[in-house]
Amino acid sequence: LTTEEFRRLGHAYVDWVADHRAGLPGLPVVPPVGPGEVATALSQPGAAFPDGRLPEAPQPLDTLLDAVDRVVVPGSTLWQHPAFFGYFPANSSLTSLLGDLLSGALGAQGMLWSTSPAATEAEQVLLDGFARALGLGEAFTFSGGGGGVIQDSASSAALVALLAALHRVRPGWRETGVDGRERVYVTAETHSSLAKAVRVAGLGARALRVVDPVPGTQAMSAAALAGAMAADVAAGLAPVLVCATVGTTGTGAVDPVRDIAPVAAAHGAWLHVDAAWAGVAGLCPELRHVIDGVGLADSFCTDAHKWLFTAFDASLLWVRDAAALPAALSVTPEYLRNAASESGAVVDYRDWQVPLGRRFRALKLWAVVHALGLEGLRAHLRGHVAAAVALAGRVRAEPGVVLAAPPTLGLVCLRYVGADGGPDDAVTRAVLERVNSSGAAFVTHTVLDGRYVIRVAVGGVATEATHVEALWERLCAEAGTVRATSTL
């Protein structure tokens, strides 16, 4: 592609993106496709990959857009649809796409400071700024002795935090590995990425200690944690890491970080705060209470790619000790040696993550904060929280449906109840299925105390109060139909 051809095609591709986003409200959120249908459509005679073979001859790039229109869009779950309320949001704002375009254009490999000084230092400055804007405390900034890094995911952030914890708590770990006595503390609601990190680190499932919640809640009990850690130490085991979650995936529960921190510290364990979804709320002073106590943690993670207007992948991780990750992860072959690294005056982000290579992810986050400012980002978050509060109010006022857990920020969990006031799983499940198969909106579920729950996660880049109101009307209509049918 010459630069002039790129210019022409780029306009066409940008037009496609703009038309696609503008047309989203008219499309079904979830495609009515079954397993194998997309692959079959792509492999048919005359399609992109007839008989599963790649094209021998070059083809004009304009025609790729036709295939995307015919096969890819109709086979895609439309996460940027304003009526997407599933899982947690995956904000892929047009603003961040423009920043990502610049990143791709530079094509920089930011593994070392010397392989792209700007990629490293822009990330450092940006993350220092976000640490201040979130109120994490100066200890998490590079100027305060800590620092931030953009990981691909909160899962990777948890893994590297665990490796740093192992290095700190188990001297000699890098040489001898683990010995089976390491323990990691979570709750039943902790994200599965912690279990995966424990497995990847070679600790084995027995290393995971599931701590009881505060009775009647989903949040970790600091007293139960203290008991579990003391019992483990008495049994000769080694507490390595405590993971406190701010905004659990199931119901948005918030572990009491301020109470947990001294317990972890008393046993020398690393405290990681997984605030993958909810942490960005700290940008709003009136919502910052959700991350209360985070200044006492060793590491803190929140995903810009969930609710902060930034396209996947951009998971923000801060540590209070800038030496912790390099101490655990640095491996230096001759071909990576250079004067800047050896001077000790630079950050080499390869030592802060598992892979060697890394993209210039900071540019898309920079584009977002440049275009919206913190005020714009706060307005984005506040709009969703207000819409979720309104939805929770609708649920409270409606007979036959209840809040299954206290709403947190943009997350509302609800379930349908029978005449006796008890949960009616069959109705809840049927309503979810009918909403999703309608194509008009998409919600997902969790199970709480063994009972089925619909989760409504408000936070899409295009989601406004009117879309949440429309979802509520749809829920009411489908519940009416389900109940009428089941009593026939």
Closest distance between ligand PLP and the C-beta of residue 250, in Å?
9
Q: Is 92 in the site for ligand PLP (CB under 6 A)?
A: no
Residues from 329 through 358 that contact ligand PLP (CB under 6 A): none
Q: Is 277 in the site for ligand PLP (CB under 6 A)?
A: yes
Residues from 398 through 457 that contact ligand PLP (CB under 6 A): none
What is d(CA 352, CA 369) in angstroms, rounded to the nearest whole number?
24
Question: Using CB under 6 A, which of the segments 76-84, 246-254, 265-273, 378-386 binds ligand PLP?
Answer: 246-254
Closest distance between ligand PLP and the C-beta of residue 255, in Å?
11
Question: Using CB under 6 A, which of the segments 93-101, 151-159, 429-437, 474-482 binds ligand PLP?
Answer: 151-159
What is d(CA 249, CA 279) in angstroms, rounded to the nearest whole number?
13
Task: Tell me whether residue 127 is exposed, middle or buried, using C-beta atoms within 10 angstroms of its C-beta: 0 to 12, 13 to 18, 19 or more.
Answer: buried
Cβ proximity of 301 and 273 under 8 Å: yes
Residue 196 or 289 with smaller CB distance to ligand PLP: 196
Q: List the one residue from 95, 116, 187, 249 that touches ligand PLP (CB under 6 A).
A: 249
Question: Using CB under 6 A, which of the segments 149-157, 292-300, 359-367, 443-451 binds ligand PLP?
Answer: 149-157
Closest distance between ligand PLP and the C-beta of residue 190, in Å?
8
Q: Is 123 in the site for ligand PLP (CB under 6 A)?
A: no
Closest distance between ligand PLP and the C-beta of residue 342, in Å?
33
Closest distance between ligand PLP and the C-beta of residue 302, in Å?
9
* 3-class SS letters over the chain: CCHHHHHHHHHHHHHHHHHHHHHHHHCCCCCCCCCCHHHHHHHCCCCCCHHHCCCCCCCCCHHHHHHHHHHHHHHCCCCCCCCECCCCCCCCCHHHHHHHHHHHHHCCCCCCHHHCHHHHHHHHHHHHHHHHHHCCCHHHCCCCCCEEEEECCHHHHHHHHHHHHHHHHCCCHHHHCCCCCEEEEECCCCCHHHHHHHHHCCCCHHHEEECCECCCCCCECHHHHHHHHHHHHHCCCEEEEEEEEECCCCCCCECCHHHHHHHHHHCCCEEEEECCCCHHHHHCHHHHHHHCCHHHCCEEEEEHHHHCCCCCCCEEEEECCCCHHHHHHCCCCHHHCCHHHHHCCCCCHHHHCCCCCCCCCHHHHHHHHHHHHHHHHHHHHHHHHHHHHHHHHHHHHCCCEEECCCCECCEEEEEEECCCCCECHHHHHHHHHHHHHHCCCECEEEEECCEEEEEEECCCCCCCHHHHHHHHHHHHHHHHHHHHHHCC
Cα–Cα nearest to 484, from 431, 429, 445 = 431
Question: Using CB under 6 A, which of the segments 9-17, 47-55, 241-249, 445-453 binds ligand PLP?
Answer: 241-249
Q: Is 303 in the site for ligand PLP (CB under 6 A)?
A: yes
Question: Using CB under 6 A, which of the segments 70-78, 207-215, 244-252, 400-408 binds ligand PLP?
Answer: 244-252
Q: Is 274 in the site for ligand PLP (CB under 6 A)?
A: yes
Closest distance between ligand PLP and the C-beta of residue 127, in Å?
16
Residues from 22 through 81 that contact ligand PLP (CB under 6 A): none
Closest distance between ligand PLP and the C-beta of residue 148, in Å?
15
Q: List the one residue from 167, 191, 209, 467 that touches ligand PLP (CB under 6 A).
A: 191
Residue 165 or 479 with smaller CB distance to ligand PLP: 165
Q: List the one residue from 124, 187, 193, 310 that touches ligand PLP (CB under 6 A).
A: 193
Q: List the one residue from 155, 218, 251, 299 that touches ligand PLP (CB under 6 A).
A: 155
Question: Using CB under 6 A, which of the segments 254-262, 272-280, 288-296, 344-352 binds ligand PLP?
Answer: 272-280
Q: Is 276 in the site for ligand PLP (CB under 6 A)?
A: yes
Q: Is 154 in the site for ligand PLP (CB under 6 A)?
A: yes
Residue 124 or 248 with smaller CB distance to ligand PLP: 248
What is d(CA 32, CA 53) in angstroms, rounded to the nearest whole number?
26
Q: Is 299 in the site for ligand PLP (CB under 6 A)?
A: no
Cβ proximity of 457 and 87 under 8 Å: yes
Q: Is 91 in the site for ligand PLP (CB under 6 A)?
A: no
- Beta strands 270-274 and 238-245 are parallel
What is d(CA 250, CA 74) in angstroms, rounded to the nearest whole number?
29
Q: How many residues bind ligand PLP (CB under 6 A)?
A: 15
Closest distance between ligand PLP and the C-beta of residue 153, in Å?
3
Q: Is 153 in the site for ligand PLP (CB under 6 A)?
A: yes
Q: Is 315 in the site for ligand PLP (CB under 6 A)?
A: yes
Closest distance between ligand PLP and the C-beta of residue 65, in Å?
29
Q: Is 300 in the site for ligand PLP (CB under 6 A)?
A: no
Q: Is 120 in the site for ligand PLP (CB under 6 A)?
A: no
Q: Which residues bind ligand PLP (CB under 6 A)?
A: 88, 153-155, 191, 193, 245, 247-249, 274, 276-277, 303, 315
